[in-house]
Amino acid sequence: MTGRLAQRHVLITGAGGGIGLAIAAACLAEGARCTLADLGPAPSEGVEQLRRQHPEALAYVETDVTQAPSVGGMLYAARAAHGPVHTLVNNAAIFDMAPLLQSDEASFDRLFSVNVKGMFFVMQRVLQHMIDEGVTGGSVINMASQAGRRGEALVSHYCATKAAVISYTQSAALAMAPHGIRVNAISPGVVDTPMWSHVDSLFAKYQNLRPGEKKRQVGLEVPLGRMGAPDDIAGAAVFLASDEARYITAQTLNVDGGNVMN
């Protein structure tokens, strides 16, 4: 590692496991101080392991991104732990699916509350913080998805939420450019995280598949021949947070093994 994020404070939501935890590990390895936020009142075992490795550089805060007071408390705790935030990794999200004609209002509300409302207002609050603190070279990385690049018959609400992430990323980047703050997104493809057990079970239910079959299929369909790993996404996040990406804003970077071509 080269210390590309030395002297930077990175705030990561949805950091208890999977992609968020992998990004945290990569940022810490590159010299960043990190505040990790997730729903649990206590940090996950993965977060605890990282904290043992980086006791002075990692803080954890319980956060519900759908609740404004919780988001405010997260930012207050982050600043108290490590000073002004230089990079936000806006990663918290949930997944659900159902046939279009069976999709209900409750699922719609849950998905949009976390994936769109939570994403936007966390971004808004942190951007205002960066401006108020005079942060130079600030960056926001929103987590989109290949699902935001196209519709899917069983995944209409989730696809729509991730399309909204891409759109908000572009608008925020233009609004923040005069302040020298970059806003980009990452669009992962199929990534082998614990959430995929839930995703696979839903596909098994609605497509009459054996458990594990959908996961096997999607890995084989990736041009590079496998599902992604959380570390594959972490490398892209470190790049976008670093000075190497100082002339990149308003972009959504596909990290998907070739599933989607711009």
In a domain, 214, yes or no: no
Return the CATH number at 66: 3.40.50.720
Q: Confidence class of residue 1 from pLDDT cuts 50, 70 and 90?
A: low
Q: Which domain holds residue 186?
A: 9-192+229-255
In a domain, 1, yes or no: no
- Annotated catalytic residue 60: no
In a domain, 121, yes or no: yes
Q: Tally the domains of the chain.
A: 1
| Exposed / middle / buried, residue 93 (Cβ in 10 Å: 0-12, 13-18, 19+) | buried
| Exposed / middle / buried, residue 208 (Cβ in 10 Å: 0-12, 13-18, 19+) | exposed
pLDDT of 30-80, one tens digit each? 999 999 999 999 999 999 999 999 999 999 999 999 999 999 999 999 999
In a domain, 42, yes or no: yes
In a domain, 220, yes or no: no
In a domain, 64, yes or no: yes
| Exposed / middle / buried, residue 178 (Cβ in 10 Å: 0-12, 13-18, 19+) | exposed
In a domain, 30, yes or no: yes
- Identified catalytic residue from 76, 158, 168, 206: 158
In a domain, 221, yes or no: no
Nearest Cα to Cα of residue 89 among 161, 156, 169, 147: 169
Give the full edge-to-edge strand order of the sheet including 58-62.
58-62, 33-38, 9-13, 87-90, 139-143, 182-188, 252-255
pLDDT of 199-258, one tens digit each? 999 999 999 999 999 999 999 999 999 999 999 999 999 999 999 999 999 999 999 999
